[in-house]
Amino acid sequence: MGGRVGRCRLVRGCQGAMTQHRCLRSPAMPECGRPVSRPVPSRPVPLVGGARAATLPSRGLPVSSEVVMRKPQQLAGGSQRVCLNLLTPGLKVTRFQFHLKKMEFSREKRLKARLAGDRRGDLYPHSLQFYLQPPTENISLAEFENFAIDRLKLLKVVENLGVSYVKGSDEYKSRLEREIRKLKFPFKALVEDDYDARRKDHISHFILRLAYCQSEDLRRWFIQQEMDLFRYRFNELTGDLVEKFLKYVNLSYGAISKEVKEKLAVQLLSSTPGLSGAKVEELEFYKVPLQEAMDLFRVRRVYLLNAFAYVPQTDIVAIVLNNYRTKLSKALALTARSLPAVQSDERLQPLLNHLSHSYVGPDYSIQKNIGKISLEHIDALSVKSFPLCMRQLHKALRDNHHLRHGGRMQYGLFLKGIGLTLEQALQFWKSEFIKGKVDADKFDKGYAYSIRHNYGKEGKRTDYTPFSCMKIILSNPPSQGDYHGCPFRHSDPELLKQKLQSYKIPPTGITQILELVKGMHYQLACQKYFQLTHDVDDIGFSLNHPNQYFAESQKLLSGGREVKKEPSEPENSQQKPSSQKSTSSCSIPISSNTEADTELEGLDAYFTED
């Protein structure tokens, strides 16, 4: 305050004295009552519909002003009108309008401008990678979400194809390539200009790592699918590219020279099963330290000399995969340790949680058939069109006249999804409960509330969506006295077998289902159950949701869909080996982000909030 005293120049008309920086009459609010105008720091303003941010000019805005951005209006010719309201206490609302001309901002152009010259090549020199370095660039939340969902779709396809076809068969490869191309991941070993695809591959892998490191089950599933995807892509590499890749990931296995190969030809031929003389000549052989080729050594499939294994190109994939698996599982364990930090980020946490439940199809919250189901039909429908989880819940309800909370939630929301109105649901549950130990009064006071809650009529008024298979399989496992959950996941195999027998599933079918269950392919086991109970060879969809099961069953039974059915055959001949059995479409019925309701829809709203 000891500066030179002069006249206040902050507010026009103020006669107060001021030091170098402050008006002495009223430092914060001079006598004239007008707020002191001074520069304020830049404030990012989220743009409607995305995570981009615009920065308003900082100078000249009163400190206490609020900026409210209106949704941009589309004008003819592609330009936009953007309105900003400036709210300053004590002053009129000031409205600014900007006309933004349509700009040719294709992502490609921006990227090209940003990544001119060699930098593109430096970032992703190879179409395949071990994902050793996490991405460091900034990306929008919308892109984050899209990348994650696309990779999830791809991994789901990998899982389905792996069970439906022999891995590495032509059918398997062509279907997988089609899907990879459709989702815009790198599909050819060395397409020069696939920077976008490689970037997407890199970033999406790391996002799913965050979502899938959270439990042992999730980690195992993620590693399995990533390994299968990697195997397919590695096998697509030609000899040159294999070497380039090995160098890139610091696996220093050099291919042996022609001379060495000729010298060792006899030993290579005799110690490597499945090779002919011509093949030995044609294939590259890699010199690998013995400790890294123990799997091949254990099954006597490799030639050893001086603590080195001479591995043919066709087997090198096993060694690379081993290496990749070790790295990936270590990385997942490390990621799990840093999860608390990631989960504290309120933007990412809901998205990651939804991803780990991995349902990306329609949510069945919109009841297309509302009111079309009558209560008298539920018993018959439960036999014909309910998936096993819901059939089990329905039976338990009829037998015990009661279901515990987990069962009421799972079954109640399913019934809502197939079209039961709130009134029907109240009547249905009440009529069953009062046959047991609950009287009508107790039902009205205790249970009716939670049914209305499910329909969004109580509490937070959230219109709850029916549970997807992954949600049922991965969360809230049933305990003693519970009937919810997925029988393929949560039942003891012996009990499951008995249940399937009681439902007249043929013995070969039961064996196939149990095989799938053993391999932890629960949804595929359920698809098999659908196939057997509907007597079709090709179910024509990939199951992700109990309500999808119901809808597809109804469509099929009402003749609304043509399903290929072979002429009736003896029971046994209908069952094929699981690796060959299904010709079902392998693309998951996933809606695009913009067209269907998804479980992530709430997040969309969250991301686009003003």
Sites of contact with ligand SF4 (CB under 6 A): 387-389, 469, 472-473, 486-488, 522-523, 526, 546, 549
Shortest distance (Å) from residue 544 CB to ligand SF4: 8
Shortest distance (Å) from residue 313 CB to ligand SF4: 40
Neighbours of 518 (CB within 10 A): 10
Q: Which is nearer to ligand SF4, 204 or 392 (CB)?
A: 392
d(CA 287, CA 133): 27
Shortest distance (Å) from residue 157 CB to ligand SF4: 17
d(CA 143, CA 200): 9
* Cβ-Cβ contacts under 8 Å for 225 (sequence gap 6 or more): 155, 156, 158, 159
* Cβ-Cβ contacts under 8 Å for 595 (sequence gap 6 or more): none
Shortest distance (Å) from residue 385 CB to ligand SF4: 11
Please give the backbone phi and psi of residue 311, each rounded to the nearest 5 degrees, phi first: -100, 125
Contact by Cβ (8 Å): 466, 411: no
Q: Which is nearer to ligand SF4, 165 or 488 (CB)?
A: 488
Neighbours of 158 (CB within 10 A): 24
Of all helices (H) and strands (E), which one includes residue 288?
A: strand 285-289
Q: Which is nearer to ligand SF4, 48 or 536 (CB)?
A: 536
d(CA 249, CA 235): 16
Shortest distance (Å) from residue 53 CB to ligand SF4: 41
Q: Which is nearer to ligand SF4, 195 or 386 (CB)?
A: 386
d(CA 239, CA 243): 7
Shortest distance (Å) from residue 472 CB to ligand SF4: 4
Q: Which is nearer to ligand SF4, 170 or 494 (CB)?
A: 494
d(CA 320, CA 297): 15
Q: Which is nearer to ligand SF4, 186 or 361 (CB)?
A: 361
Shortest distance (Å) from residue 469 CB to ligand SF4: 3
Shortest distance (Å) from residue 508 CB to ligand SF4: 20
Q: Which is nearer to ligand SF4, 18 or 486 (CB)?
A: 486
Shortest distance (Å) from residue 503 CB to ligand SF4: 13
Q: Which is nearer to ligand SF4, 148 or 469 (CB)?
A: 469
Q: Which is nearer to ligand SF4, 183 or 472 (CB)?
A: 472
Shortest distance (Å) from residue 548 CB to ligand SF4: 8
Q: Which is nearer to ligand SF4, 301 or 521 (CB)?
A: 521
* One-character DSSP codes across 79-117: -EEEEEEEE-TTSPPEEEEEEEPP----HHHHHHHHT-T
Any idea what DSSP says for residue 292?
Answer: G
Shortest distance (Å) from residue 499 CB to ligand SF4: 11
Residue 250 C-beta-side C-alpha neighbours within 13 Å: 4
Q: Which is nearer to ligand SF4, 310 or 488 (CB)?
A: 488
Contact by Cβ (8 Å): 14, 8: yes
d(CA 130, CA 133): 9
* Cβ-Cβ contacts under 8 Å for 74 (sequence gap 6 or more): 80
3-state helix/strand/coil string of 538-600? CCCCCCCCHHHHHHHHHHHHCCCCCCCCCCCCCHHHHCCCHHHHCCCCCCCCCCCCCCCCCCC
Shortest distance (Å) from residue 582 CB to ligand SF4: 15
Shortest distance (Å) from residue 166 CB to ligand SF4: 24
Q: Which is nearer to ligand SF4, 156 or 199 (CB)?
A: 156
- Decide the pairing of beta strands 80-87 and 73-74: antiparallel
Choose among 374, 389, 395, 405: nearest CA to 545: 389
Q: Which is nearer to ligand SF4, 204 or 491 (CB)?
A: 491
Contact by Cβ (8 Å): 251, 184: no
Q: Which is nearer to ligand SF4, 246 or 526 (CB)?
A: 526
Q: For residue 63, give Cα distances in angstroms to 13, 23, 49, 89, 256.
A: 20, 16, 27, 10, 72
Shortest distance (Å) from residue 439 CB to ligand SF4: 32
* Per-residue b or e along 492-508, where b marks 16 or more CB atoms closer than 10 Å to that residue's CB: eeeebbebbeeeebeee
